A and B are shown apart, each in its own frame.
Chain A
Amino acid sequence: NAGVTQTPKFQVLKTGQSMTLQCAQDMNHEYMSWYRQDPGMGLRLIHYSVGAGITDQGEVPNGYNVSRSTTEDFPLRLLSAAPSQTSVYFCASRGQQELFFGSGTQLSVL
């Protein structure tokens, strides 16, 4: 039981490049979400999903796309990276009362 697995751990992009952050969970959780964490701002919700085929926007969705084709996987796509997207990204899935977080992706956009 690996929990929530995020890849990559670190990534450097140039402005305008695209990339996908991968997230997988093996706990059969319906609810999955992506957060970004910036200094002094806590965690802000980007997108979330309540099951395969269902996604919705969170607090800061602009510049990001998601899809949920299976219960296990919830990738986050940056279509055209901008310096404002430099941040630490966390994927999470929800159990009975709590979120289980992945180990995070530190993304720098130059």
Chain B
Amino acid sequence: GQSLEQPSEVTAVEGAIVQINCTYQTSGFYGLSWYQQHDGGAPTFLSYNALDGLEETGRFSSFLSRSDSYGYLLLQELQMKDSASYFCALQVDSWGKLQFGAGTQVVVTP
């Protein structure tokens, strides 16, 4: 099976940079995804890493290292609206089946 570990909560001030780490154990996977979820809302897709390295999408970047069984999501120039839960997820088959971590709540303070 698979397991993913990520911190439960991170607090930072507006304008700061936050890195959310995700470590995993798996016998094989296709890629690592990140999703954002605001309170009471649906998860929304942020990024996907199929290969090792950095993917950048605006203020958000995601990184994957298969050799270290590790990935992270980097949130730059934090804004109040970035207060949300962030989930890493392993794609475990070619159809796109995802296994999610428990989520990291990011709290942005003024």
Give residues in A with beta carbon < 8 Å to B: 30-31, 33, 35, 40-45, 48, 50, 58-59, 90, 94, 97-104
Q: Determine if B70 is an interface residue (Cβ-Cβ < 8 Å).
A: no
List 25 A–B pairs whose Cβ atoms lie within 8 Å, in order of A's numbering.
A31-B95, A33-B97, A41-B102, A42-B100, A42-B101, A42-B103, A43-B87, A45-B98, A48-B95, A50-B95, A58-B97, A59-B99, A90-B42, A90-B43, A94-B95, A97-B45, A98-B33, A98-B45, A98-B48, A99-B35, A99-B45, A100-B45, A101-B44, A102-B42, A103-B42
Chain A: minimal CB distance from B38 (Å): 12
Say yes or no: A97-B43 contact (C-beta < 8 A), given A42-B87, A42-B103, A43-B87.
no
Q: For A42, A90, A94, A104, which residue has the most chain B Cβ atoms within 10 angstroms?
A: A42
Contacts of B41 in A (CB 8 A): 103-104
A104 touches B48 (CB 8 A): no
* In the bound complex, CA of A101 to CA of B48 (Å): 16
Give residues in B with beta carbon < 8 Å to A: 8, 31, 33, 35, 41-45, 48, 87, 89, 95-103
Q: Which listed residue (B43, B96, B103) contacts A101, Cβ 8 A?
A: B43
Contacts of A90 in B (CB 8 A): 42-43
A99 touches B102 (CB 8 A): no
Chain B: minimal CB distance from A56 (Å): 9
